[in-house]
Amino acid sequence: MGSKTKKRVVLPTRPAPPTVEQILEDVRGAPASDPVFTALGSEDIAGPSWQAEDAGAQEEQFYQQSRTYVAINQQLQQAGDRLKQKCKNLREAGEELERAISQVKQVALPGAEATSG
């Protein structure tokens, strides 16, 4: 029995994803002891007291992230410039190679240039 004889199972259409309002309503209605809120553990949850105490540390972290972003962005721009230069060099080398091949053909077969092409 081939796969052609098997009946294809038609799955029901998927329900539409919840709207933002439905998600927010669900989160607001969940108790504080809901596993979604307690699964990470209290040491991993950033509560208001943590935010107040470590606001300076968070600002420093954002600053360092910004510096890293700027440095990486500059490196990418420099890499792009280097790639453009290498591409230009490759084009020039290709053109030079084409000229050299043409000269070799003219020397090796003096009339081949006119007939090929």
Each residue's pLDDT tens digit, 75-85: 999 999 999 99
Task: With a cut of 70, say whether residue 2 has pLDDT above it.
Answer: no
- pLDDT of 91 > 90? The answer is yes
- Assigned domain for 50 exists: no
Q: What is the pLDDT of residue 41?
A: 62
The answer to whether residue 87 is domain-embedded is yes
pLDDT in tens, 31-71: 888 887 777 665 544 555 555 567 778 888 888 999 999 99
Does 13 reside within a domain? no
Asked whether the beta carbons of 30 and 24 are under 8 A apart, the reply is no
Any domain includes 24: no
Residues 6+ apart with CB under 8 A from 45: 37
pLDDT of 72 higher than 90: yes
pLDDT (mean) for 4-28: 85
The CA angle 61-66-68, to the nearest 5 degrees, is 95
What total number of domains does the chain contain?
A: 1
Q: Which domain holds residue 87?
A: 57-107
Res 114 pLDDT > 80: no
8 A C-beta contact, residue 72 and residue 83? no
- Is there a domain that residue 116 lies in? no
Q: Is residue 74 assigned to a domain?
A: yes
pLDDT at 50: 54
